A and B are shown apart, each in its own frame.
Chain A
């Protein structure tokens, strides 16, 4: 257990290093940071001095280690576009993105699993057929289009819900403002979180359904049926847990993608999160912001992966119990 945990953490650290190297390479190969920092009229000598002062003449490995050292301390330099420290900007915008991701994640996982199980058990029911058909539409609808359609129906035509922004927010700490404590905050969350969650929901639901059907075909379910075990117990005691094991991994990855997909949702709803900033950073080739965002996303993924591993450990007895010597 401990050994596995350590191995996992080392693996995670390796992934982070690789991503850090990619981020670092962005600085090295894409554009000249000096050009971005000084004006056109700066003399050759000024540039050389600045280059020296920033340590850009040092050997690459030393620069890389300095980059990693800074990154660990949350130091990513100054955004080219906003002329503010990247870490400040991200800290300010992150809560909005996390709240959105959390709400849509909960939505996607709970409904995804529930509907997946339902459609697997009531395979031939009309409601299942209906849900499955609509889920294909869900998979084929680009996130931004979902957002636009929701805005058109609920904001423009019906005028029930706001179409942009977070509504009223409450300052919890210096950097943390939340929309979860006000009515208008929740109202503003509804459309964006549906938009963001719908795609993951459909994917998850289809996965749970397929996985559940697979489990229902296994020998141990057949054997349970042959022993006359009650239908409900077969479905929810014998099959469901086995279904959810492989789903944990995917659900974890999906939670990660929700943060990435937030880029689109935030653009559609003008949600003041980090994704909106990232799009602008891409447009203006704002390297410090791009590399910081990349590392942030990687960190989220790595942490989620670790949590998934631990969960697996807790749920699957085949991993938990040390193998007793098999006796005949």
Chain B
């Protein structure tokens, strides 16, 4: 197997609160390989977006990385000084945010924002930068890019703005893009188009993507592998087909059961009883144990780590001893 592009090892993110600390990410471990699309799914508050923010070094204080390591190829990046991290952002790791309506600076033109980003990372003259900016806009599918480049963000629709955002994120030709729910704020009709653009562009540029979403449809359509998060921990990682067809973790099984299928007739959708615990009330042992239909004593006492099975990695005691 190839070397991973990004390795996250036992990442812990904490928020100090009154007398205690909230552990928002609890020993998260996963890899992203060059050029692949890794999906991150889970309910809101499971820690998907936080993982993205931690990787790119933009956690909002008082949140901070309390333990663990993040490696980008041979470079450890979780403790880099601000200026070094800044050079890396946009150049090697980029990020796309949820809402294209608020992601663009309203008082700067698209040209202003694109050219500045290009020149920050690449040694381009003003003229070359502008030409490259137009080319990028063209590639993400903005019609009449050479004219529209001087428009302000408010003159574009939501879908068009997310295309501009993608162009901006790709300007430095990064190796990894963290896309934080890039379609959630968009009309259903343009969601597929944006995912297409993202897929195509990243394929063309060989960029790996960490696609954060809670939309299983998007996962199934776009991703190579999927990581399922629950209460700040990774419950399961595996190949997308395997996870969708044959999930191992009881939580993933519940998650998949709750998606209506167009092709198969399902009598009723499975619902997971209860809701994800608040961060200050995570039970001992496996975080999922109060809702789990297959739980046993050990689940309440010992926290399961990711176990390698034939099908992937899963943090569940049911599979203890199956490790390959």
* Contact of B58 with A by CB under 8 A: yes
Is A219 a contact of B99 with CB atoms below 8 Å?
A: yes
Residues of B within 8 A of A321 (CB): 151-152, 154-155
Is A227 a contact of B154 with CB atoms below 8 Å?
A: no
Comparing A51-59, A76-84, A106-114, A230-238, the segment that makes contact with chain B is A230-238
* Contacting residue for B90 out of A226, A245, A316, CB 8 A: A226
Give the A-binding residues of B (Cβ under 8 A): 56, 58, 82, 86-91, 94-95, 97, 99, 102-109, 113, 116-117, 120-121, 143, 151-152, 154-157, 159-160, 165, 168-169, 171-172, 190
Report the nearest A residue to B91, measured CB to CB.
A228
Chain A residues with a Cβ closer than 8 Å to the other chain, count: 30
In the complex, what's the smallest C-beta–C-beta distance from A223 to chain B, in angstroms? Answer: 5
* Bound form: Cα–Cα A245–B165 in Å: 24
Rank and list the top 5 A-B pairs by shortest CB-CB distance, nearest first: A228-B90, A228-B89, A227-B90, A226-B95, A219-B102
Is A223 a contact of B104 with CB atoms below 8 Å?
A: yes
* Bound form: Cα–Cα A247–B117 in Å: 28
* Contact of A242 with B by CB under 8 A: yes
Is B88 a contact of A228 with CB atoms below 8 Å?
A: yes
Report the nearest A residue to B165, measured CB to CB.
A223
Q: Hey, what's the 0/1 contact readout for A234-275 against B, CB within 8 Å counting as 1?
A: 000110011001000000000000000000000000000000
* Contact of A7 with B by CB under 8 A: no
Is B116 a contact of A317 with CB atoms below 8 Å?
A: no
Is A229 a contact of B116 with CB atoms below 8 Å?
A: yes
Assuming the contacts A324-B151, A328-B190, asked whether A227 and B107 have C-beta atoms less than 8 A apart, the reply is no
Residues of A within 8 A of B160 (CB): 326-328
Residues of A within 8 A of B151 (CB): 321, 324
Residues of A within 8 A of B165 (CB): 223
* Contact of A176 with B by CB under 8 A: no
Residues of B within 8 A of A237 (CB): 108, 116
* Bound form: Cα–Cα A328–B162 in Å: 11
In the complex, what's the smallest C-beta–C-beta distance from A262 to chain B, in angstroms? Answer: 34
* Contact of A225 with B by CB under 8 A: yes
* Bound form: Cα–Cα A223–B160 in Å: 17
Is B156 a contact of A326 with CB atoms below 8 Å?
A: yes
* Bound form: Cα–Cα A315–B103 in Å: 20
* Bound form: Cα–Cα A31–B319 in Å: 95
In the complex, what's the smallest C-beta–C-beta distance from A235 to chain B, in angstroms? Answer: 13
